[in-house]
Structure 1
Amino acid sequence: MVLCSPRAIAGKALARSVCGGLVLALFFVLVLPSPAGAVLGGPDRVYFPQTGHTLAYGFLEFWLRNGDIPIFGYPLSEELSEQGTTVQYFERAVFEWHPEAPAEWRVQLRRLGVEATSGRSDRAFLPAEPVDNAACQYFVETRHNLCHGFRWFWERFGGVRIFGYPISEELTEDGLTVQYFERARLEWHPEQRGTAGEIQVTRLGEWAARRISRERAPLAQPPDVPVYTPELFPRVPNLVRTPPAGAPVGEAKWIEVDLSDQALRAWEYDRLVFWTLVSTGLPQYPTPTGTFRVYVKLRYERMRGGTPGIDYYDLPNVPHTMYFYLGYALHGAYWHNNFGHPMSHGCVNLPLDAAAWLYDWTPVGTVVWIHP
C-alpha cells in the first residue's frame, strides 16, 4: 500500500539506530532499556550532586516521563542487581527492570506500600464499604476508597501504573493525614494548601534503602556525565494533566496528537493514562488536523511511496499500524530515534514500545484528535 511514512533513511543510519537499542550493564549481564537521550533530546546519563549518584538509560527516561523529583525523588544508589533483577533506589521509590514484561511494563515500581504495612491489621487497613460521596472512588480490587485531594493527585500523577491501588483508608500518622497504596504513601500537608507541596509522596525509598548502606555512599561525578538540570532535556514537553479546550472528553478512550509539542497523549474521558513524544509530518507533508477515528489496525504493514530518485521509500514490517484517515496512520518507527521533531510524510511516528502499548489499548473506532 502506498502510504505516508517518513522519508527513507540510508541503510547505514538505519543499522546504527536499530543496533543502538541494546545496552549491557557494565557489572552484570542484563539487557536494559533503550537509551533515553535519543528519545528525549538530552544525554543518556546524568549526575545528581544532591545524593552523589547517576541515573541512566531507561530508568532515566521513566523518571523523566512520570514526574521526576516530586514523584520519585533523587537517586540513592547506582543500578544494582538484586536476585537477578536490575534495580535502583530513589528517595520515594525503587525502580525494577523486567525485560520479560510487555514494553510498557518493563520498568516497574517496587510495592513499597505493601512492604511497609506488612502485618498491619488496624482499622484503616481492614476492607471498607463504598463511601456514598461523589468525590470518592471505590476499588473492588482492594476494597478501599480513594477520596478528595488524594484521589485528584493519584489520578493526575500516574494512577495504578505509578502508585498501585489503595490498600488503606485515610488515617493519621505522626500528625499527618496519609493513605497507603501498593507502591507508595501519600501525605496531606495543609500548611502548604494551594501549593505543589500540599500533597506529597512519602520517602519510602529511603526506608527501603536502609539495607543498602554501602551502595548509598556518594560517588564522585564521572568526568563525561553532566549534572542534571531540566534544561538538558528540551524535548520533554510540558506535562499536560488536564485536557485542552475543545477536547473530546466525552469519549471513553481518545488519542490526542499535539503538533506543537510533537506529543501524543492517550486519555480515558478526562484522565491522562499515557503519553509519548512522536514525529509528525514535515512542512511539505503536513499531518492533517481535525477529529478522526481509527478505522483499521494492522500489526505489521509494508509502506511505500514518494518519487523514485527523490524521496522514494519502501519500509517492510512497519509495526502496530492504525489508520485513522485515508492513508494516514499512527505506527511504530524503527528507522529513526528523532522523536520530538517532524520527520514523516504525514503519518504519526511513535517509539516502538509506545506504539505497542497504544496498539493494545486502542480499539477500532477510537477518536484521534489532532490539533496545532
Structure 2
Amino acid sequence: MIGAALLVFGLTLVLLLSIHAAEARHPQADFAAPLSYREAQAVVVAAQAREAHLRTVVSQPLGSVNPELLPRMQTIYFPQTGHHLSNRSGFLDFWRANGQLQSFGYPLTEEIVEHGRIVQYFERARFELHAEYIGTPQQVQLGLLGREILEKQGVPPRLDEAQREGRYFPETGHTLWGRFRSFWERRDGMQLYGMPLSEVVEEDGRSVQYFERAKFIYFPEELPAVFRSLQHSYGYPLNALYEVQLSDLGRLLAEQRGINLAPVPQLEGTHTWHPALWERRVEISIGEQWLSAYEGDLLVFRAPVATGRDGFNTPVGDYAVYYKTPMQTMSGCMAGECWNVPHVPWAQYIVGGVALHGTYWHNNHGTGIRPSHGCINLRLEDAQWLYEWTSLGTPVKVRY
C-alpha cells in the first residue's frame, strides 16, 4: 500500500514538474493563465485524487466477487432504465465508441433474440449482432428503424418538389443537405445511419429527415444567437453539439412491438455505469492535427484541431485539465501582436495560458494550417463534446 502511494506521488510530481517546465519554456498562448502554477498544481492533484477515489468506488462490482459468478464479459448496469449493457456481442464498446448517450440514449431492454439475431433496444437505436461479420467493424450494426417506421406510417410528402443542391442518393431518390448533411458526414453517417429515405419535412413544428437507421430532428435554438450571427459574418456554418438530435425511434418501435421494457435487477458482479468508470485521457498529434480521446484503451472520440503557428508553437508534453470555463474573452499582446476576441467557447486550460477551445473565426481544423497563438482550436461542436466529457485532472498528452 505504501509502495503504491509513493508511486502515485512520484508520477504526480513528474507530471507537475513537466507542467512547470513547459510553462517556463512556452509562455505564449491565446489566453492569460487563469491560475498560477501553484494554484493549477493544487487543482490537478486534488482532482486526480478525487477521480481515482471515485473510480475505485464505481469499479466495485455488485455483490459476490466469486469468479464463477462474475459475468464472462464486461457488463455495465444503467439504473436510469434498469438494464445491462455488455460486451458479449460487442454492444458495450460500440455504444462507448460511437456517441454514447448523445447518439443512442440508455438501453431499454436486455439482449434479446429477434428473427434469429441477437439485438438490444436503446432509446434511439437498436443494436444488432451480425455474426457473419464477427471480428470486423460490421459486427455490430444499427437496425433499420427508419425503414421499419416508414413502412408502418408511410413516407412523408415533400415540402418542396424542387431538388435542392446537396448530396443526392440515387439508390433512394433523396437528397442530403444543410445541417443534416453536416451532421451525417461528420459522424460516419453511411455506416451508422444509412441513406436518406425522405426529404427534409416538418413534423410538430420541427424540420426532420428519415434515414434507414435513424430520424434526425433539427433544434436551431441549440446554436446560441451570437454564433448564428457570426457564421454569416465569417461565411461558413457553425454547428452546435445538440443542434441535430436523433429521435427516440428505438423506444417507439419497441413499444409498437409490445416488447417488455420493465427494469431488471442488477446482476451480481456487474458495475454501475458512471462516466468515471474508465480512465479518460486526451492525446493530440500536432503532426496530424488531430485529437483523440480514450476511455482506457478504447478510442471514443476523434476531432480535427488547429494548433499554434511557428513562433507561437503549442507546447509538447504531458499535461492535465486544470481550469474550465464555458465562455470567455480572449485577449493579449505578444511579439508585436495584440488580439481581443469575445465569446470564445468551451475553454479548458492544460498548461499556463494554453487551452483547448472552440473557434468561430476560422475553419482550418485538420487542414495543416496552424493559426493560433499556442492554443488548441476545435470546431464548436467538438469543443463542447470534449468539455462535457472531461473533468478537472483529465490527462492531456501533446505530441508531434
Give TM-score scaled by structure 2 length: 0.48
In 1, Cα distance between equivalents of 2:109 and 2:175? 34
Residue matched to 2:144: 111
Shift of 1:76: 0.2
Shift of 1:162: 0.6
Residue matched to 2:4: none
Determine if contact 1:185/1:202 at 8 Å carries over to the other structure. Answer: yes
1:54 aligns with 2:84: yes
1:63 aligns with 2:108: no
- Choose between structure 1 and 2: higher helix proportion: 2
Shift of 1:223: 3.1
Q: Which amino acid aligns with 2:147?
A: V
Determine if contact 1:125/1:168 at 8 Å carries over to the other structure. Answer: no
SS across alignment from 1:208: helix
1:92 aligns with 2:124: yes
1:123 corresponds, among 157, 161, 174, to 157
In 2, Cα distance between equivalents of 1:260 and 1:199? 24
Per-residue CA deviation, residues 4-52 of structure 1 (Å, 9 max, x unaligned), is xxxxxxxxxxxxxxxxxxxxxxxxxxxxxx95xxxxxxxx111111100
In 1, Cα distance between equivalents of 2:93 and 2:85? 9
1:138 aligns with 2:168: yes
Residue matched to 1:83: 115
Matches within 5 A, 1:1-372: 35=73, 44-57=74-87, 58-101=90-133, 103-118=136-151, 120-124=154-158, 131-132=164-165, 136-194=166-224, 195-211=240-256, 213=258, 215-234=260-279, 247=288, 372=400
Q: Which moved more, 1:143-152 or 1:191-200?
A: 191-200
Shift of 1:72: 0.6
Determine if contact 1:48/1:74 at 8 Å carries over to the other structure. Answer: yes
SS across alignment from 2:271: coil
Q: Which amino acid aligns with 2:154?
A: R
Q: Which moved more, 1:152-161 or 1:60-69?
A: 152-161
CA 174–215 in structure 1, closer or farther in 2 if over 3 Å, else same: same
**Runs of 5+ consecutive residues of structure 2 not aligned to the other structure:** 1-71, 225-239, 305-397
Q: Which amino acid aligns with 1:123?
A: P
Residue matched to 1:347: none
Per-residue CA deviation, residues 305-325 of structure 1 (Å, 9 max, x unaligned), is xxxxxxxxxxxxxxxxxxxxx
In 1, Cα distance between equivalents of 2:265 and 2:300? 38
Determine if contact 2:119/2:127 at 8 Å carries over to the other structure. Answer: yes
In 2, Cα distance between equivalents of 1:226 and 1:263? 18
Per-residue CA deviation, residues 172-227 of structure 1 (Å, 9 max, x unaligned), is 00111001111000001123224432211000000111156563111122232121
SS across alignment from 1:187: strand
SS across alignment from 2:127: strand
CA 220–149 in structure 1, closer or farther in 2 if over 3 Å, else same: same
Determine if contact 1:66/1:158 at 8 Å carries over to the other structure. Answer: no
Determine if contact 1:98/1:108 at 8 Å carries over to the other structure. Answer: yes
Determine if contact 1:78/1:88 at 8 Å carries over to the other structure. Answer: yes
In 1, Cα distance between equivalents of 2:128 and 2:200? 28
Determine if contact 1:257/1:265 at 8 Å carries over to the other structure. Answer: no
CA 96–153 in structure 1, closer or farther in 2 if over 3 Å, else same: same
Misfit runs of 4+, over 6 Å? 256-267
Residue matched to 1:280: none
Shift of 1:88: 0.3
Shift of 1:143: 2.4
Q: Radius of gyration: which is bigger?
A: 2
CA 223–71 in structure 1, closer or farther in 2 if over 3 Å, else same: same
Per-residue CA deviation, residues 61-107 of structure 1 (Å, 9 max, x unaligned), is 10001111110110000000112110100000001101112611111
Determine if contact 2:285/2:399 at 8 Å carries over to the other structure. Answer: no
Q: Which amino acid aligns with 1:71?
A: S
SS across alignment from 1:100: helix
In 2, Cα distance between equivalents of 1:162 and 1:101? 16
**Identity rate of aligned residues, in percent?**
39
Determine if contact 1:73/1:91 at 8 Å carries over to the other structure. Answer: yes
Number of equivalent positions: 217
In 2, Cα distance between equivalents of 1:176 and 1:208? 21
In 2, Cα distance between equivalents of 1:94 and 1:108? 8
In 2, Cα distance between equivalents of 1:140 and 1:177? 22
Q: Which has the higher contact order (CA 8 A, sep 6+)?
A: 2
- Say what the alpha-carbon RMSD is for the aligned residues: 3.6
Residue matched to 1:342: none
Per-residue CA deviation, residues 263-308 of structure 1 (Å, 9 max, x unaligned), is 88999xx8xxxxxxxxxxxxxxxxxxxxxxxxxxxxxxxxxxxxxx
SS across alignment from 1:105: coil
Q: Which amino acid aligns with 1:225?
A: T
SS across alignment from 2:119: strand
Q: Which amino acid aligns with 1:120?
A: G
